[in-house]
């Protein structure tokens, strides 16, 4: 009996020992799993941290508030400069634009400063600013147009024509409210007229008149009449001078000053005289006389004695 009890006790001890070993194994295994997943999660977190830091180095964060403040300052300076340009205070306008460029060197800011320099007669600085504007934005139609005006003043007509061509292309692809195609075609027509490209001038003036944006200028009709005259197309030229006078008669009352109304009236008088000369060339004496009588009436209204005497002599010759 004692042997049986001892045997049972031995078996119980063995079972307990195995149970303890199993519990120990389970406990060790559980800790291994936790350690394994901790390492994985630590590795993932470290990876994202490193990637985030590298992205921050390659793409540094911009201080938005600083950028916005600089832009607002630049806009304030530009607004002040525009008012100063209208008021004719070029020195103050340039000072404002210098500050704007220091805050935000934008293409349009250089263009505005170039316009101020051009009005002051400092053509080299104006040219440098227009060049800078176009280096920043190669589709700045206003900068091309302004540089064309500058090259025209410098009598560099080929360069002016190239710039106006670029202005037309830029305006077509990237329109700006500051310009319109009607005025750009008219400007190119004028350059072609000065370069004695009569056909090109006629085509550009015709394109200008066909546009709907902007207002029609009597000068466009009158300058196309000059091109027609050079081509020997006298009737077309006469029709254009008549249209130029019609535009003046429609717009003269809206002229803001008396000086401008007198200037427009003087232009109309000149167009009547040119039309009279063309009518004489094609043998239309009656039409020529009518044109001269109209010119004389304008001279009387302007109290222009010199023109009155000249036109009266022409009328006497016809009579």
Mind listing the pLDDT tens digit for each residue in 91-113? 888 887 777 777 676 888 899 88
Task: Considering only residues 3 and 271, tell me which one the structure prediction assigns the higher pLDDT.
Answer: 271
Q: What is the pTM of this model?
A: 0.72
Q: What is the dihedral of CA 105, 108, 114, 120, to 10 degrees?
A: -110
Task: Give me the pLDDT at residue 73, please.
Answer: 65
Rounded Cα–Cα distance for residues 226 and 198 (Å): 9
Q: What is the mean pLDDT of the chain?
A: 82
Those residues whose C-beta lies under 8 Å from the C-beta of residue 238, and which sit 6 or more positions away, are 225, 275, 278, 279, 287
Confidence label for 183 from pLDDT (cuts 50, 70 and 90): very high
Query: Is 240's pLDDT higher than 90?
Result: yes
Contact criterion met (CB below 8 Å) for 251 and 217: no
Residue 253 DSSP label = G
Contact criterion met (CB below 8 Å) for 292 and 307: no
**What domains are defined for the chain?**
70-179 (1.25.40.10)
Query: Is 196's pLDDT higher than 80?
Result: yes
Rounded Cα–Cα distance for residues 319 and 165 (Å): 49
Query: Is 198's pLDDT higher than 60?
Result: yes
Rounded Cα–Cα distance for residues 268 and 175 (Å): 34
Rounded Cα–Cα distance for residues 278 and 285 (Å): 10
Q: What is the pLDDT of residues 40-72, one digit of tens each?
A: 444 444 444 444 444 444 444 444 344 344 444
Task: Give me the pLDDT at residue 304, please.
Answer: 96
Task: Considering only residues 169 and 254, tell me which one the structure prediction assigns the higher pLDDT.
Answer: 169
């Amino acid at each position: 009996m004692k042997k049986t009890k001892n045997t049972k006790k031995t078996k119980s001890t063995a079972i307990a020992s195995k149970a303890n070993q199993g519990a120990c194994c389970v406990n060790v295994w559980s800790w291994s799993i936790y350690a394994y997943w901790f390492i994985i999660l630590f590795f993932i977190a470290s990876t994202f941290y490193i990637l985030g830091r590298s992205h921050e180095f390659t793409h540094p964060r911009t201080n938005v508030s600083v950028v916005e403040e600089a832009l607002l300052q630049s806009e304030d300076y530009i607004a002040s400069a525009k008012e100063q340009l209208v008021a004719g205070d070029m020195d103050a306008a340039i000072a404002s634009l210098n500050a704007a460029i220091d805050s935000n060197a934008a293409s349009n800011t250089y263009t505005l400063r170039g316009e101020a320099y051009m009005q002051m007669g400092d053509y080299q600085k104006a040219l440098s600013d227009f060049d800078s504007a176009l280096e920043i934005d190669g589709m700045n139609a206003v900068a091309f147009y302004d540089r064309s005006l500058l090259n025209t003043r410098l009598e560099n007509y080929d360069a002016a024509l190239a710039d106006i061509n670029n202005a037309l292309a830029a305006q077509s692809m990237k329109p700006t409210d500051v310009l319109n195609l009607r005025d750009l075609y008219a400007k190119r027509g004028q350059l072609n007229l000065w370069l004695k490209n009569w056909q090109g001038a006629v085509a550009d003036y015709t394109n200008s008149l066909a546009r709907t944006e902007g207002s029609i200028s009597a000068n466009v009709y009158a300058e196309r009449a000059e091109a027609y005259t050079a081509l020997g197309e006298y009737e077309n030229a006469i029709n254009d001078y008549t249209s130029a006078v019609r535009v003046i008669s429609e717009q003269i009352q809206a002229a803001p000053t008396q000086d401008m109304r007198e200037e427009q009236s003087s232009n109309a008088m000149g167009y009547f005289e040119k039309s009279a000369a063309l009518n004489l060339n094609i043998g239309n004496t009656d039409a020529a006389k009518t044109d001269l009588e109209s010119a004389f009436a304008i001279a009387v209204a302007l109290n222009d004695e010199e023109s009155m005497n000249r036109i009266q002599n022409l009328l006497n010759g016809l009579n």
